[in-house]
């Protein structure tokens, strides 16, 4: 059973998937940092010095100065500022993935459009399609010249 698991785990697809998950998680952290540390501070400043991570609604009648204070007090809150940051994370990651997939599709189309060497030819006697290297037609048995 251990050998079978080892064969499964060392297959190319499993290793590729594991690498993709690790790189994806690291990319997600980079995007989260970009949104929280670079993108949102100027946006918050433009809309009146608002820190989006401190935008919340308390579900009790209590009033709290910040989300951290509400969380520390154990208050139930709707953290819509954090939700806005998460949506921006998603949009940026989705756009980046779109750009990557778009480029891969372009490369694949370019590869498909490259002219390929012919693998078949037409028999001059019976007009059957035969392999390019054939010296005798399998349909009419005519001797073919070297081409």
Domain match, 121 and 75 both = no
What value does the mean pLDDT take over residues 53-74? 87
Domain count, the chain: 2
Check whether 12 has a pLDDT greater than 70. Answer: no
Domain match, 17 and 72 both = yes
- Residue range 77-90, pLDDT digits in tens: 999 988 988 888 88
Gap between the Cα atoms of 147 and 126, Å rounded: 17
Domain CATH code at residue 54: 1.10.1200.120
CA 91 from centre of chain: 13
Q: Residue 132: give the domain boundaries.
A: 117-147
Gap between the Cα atoms of 5 and 61, Å rounded: 56
Q: What is the mean pLDDT of the chain?
A: 84
Structure tokens at 113: 């459009």
Domain match, 83 and 126 both = no
Among 84, 85, 64, 86, which residue's Cα sits nearest to residue 76? 64
pTM across the whole model: 0.55
Domain match, 40 and 51 both = yes
Structure tokens at 135: 């010296």
Structure tokens at 95: 């756009």
Gap between the Cα atoms of 138 and 129, Å rounded: 10
- Residue range 82-116, pLDDT digits in tens: 898 888 888 888 888 888 889 988 988 877 777 77
């Amino acid at each position: 059973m251990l050998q079978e698991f080892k064969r499964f785990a060392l297959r190319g697809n499993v290793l590729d998937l594991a690498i993709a998950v690790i790189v994806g998680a690291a990319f997600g952290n980079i995007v989260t940092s970009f949104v929280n540390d670079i993108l949102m501070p100027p946006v918050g400043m433009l809309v009146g010095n608002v820190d989006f991570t401190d935008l919340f609604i308390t579900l009790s009648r209590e009033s709290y100065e910040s989300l951290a204070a509400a969380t520390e007090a154990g208050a139930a809150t709707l953290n819509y500022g954090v939700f806005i940051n998460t949506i921006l994370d998603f949009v940026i990651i989705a756009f980046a993935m779109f750009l990557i997939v778009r480029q891969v599709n372009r490369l694949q189309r370019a590869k498909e459009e490259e002219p390929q060497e012919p693998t078949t030819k037409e028999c001059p006697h019976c007009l059957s399609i035969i392999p390019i290297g054939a010296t005798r037609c399998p349909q009419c048995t005519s001797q073919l010249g070297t081409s």
